[in-house]
Structure formats: C-alpha cells, structure tokens
Structure 1
Amino acid sequence: MPDAMEKTVKLRAELQVRVRNYEIDKEANLETIWH
C-alpha cells in the first residue's frame, strides 16, 4: 500500500512540473509572438 501511495505522489509531482513547464512555454511563446 505505501508503494502505491508513493507512486501516486511521484506522478502528481511530475504532472505539476509538466503543467508548470507548459505554462512557462506558453508565456514564452506569447512573448515571442508579440515581440
């Protein structure tokens, strides 16, 4: 059971990183478009 919890926590952390990177890329792309 702890293993499953650990996997879930790791997956959530990974997703958060991906979302954050996506947001950063999106803002960078917007700046590229407007400049």
Structure 2
Amino acid sequence: MFDQIIGNVKKLTEAGVALLALGIVMQIIFGKAVPF
C-alpha cells in the first residue's frame, strides 16, 4: 500500500518535471507566444 503511494508520487513528480521542461523548451523555441 505504502509502496504504491510512493510509486504514484514519483510518477506525478516525473510528469510535473517533464511538463516543466517541455514548457521551457517551448519558450526557447517560440519565445513569449507560449501561454505558460
């Protein structure tokens, strides 16, 4: 049970970091036109 919760938290954290990195890359490529 506890291991499952930790696994889900890790997945959510990885997804959040990936979205953050994607947003940064989009801003670098497209400039300020990206609504982040």
Q: Which runs of 5+ in 2 are unaligned?
A: 32-36
Q: Which runs of 5+ in 1 are unaligned?
A: none
Count of residues in correspondence between the two structures: 31
**Superposition RMSD on alpha carbons, in Å?**
0.6
Report sequence identity in percent: 23
More helix by share: 1
User: After TM superposition, which residue ranges in structure 1, 4 or more long, deviate above 6 angstroms?
Assistant: none
The structure, 1 or 2, with the larger RCO (C-alpha pairs under 8 Å, 6+ apart) is 2
Higher CA-based Rg: 1
Q: TM-score scaled to structure 2, two decimals?
A: 0.81
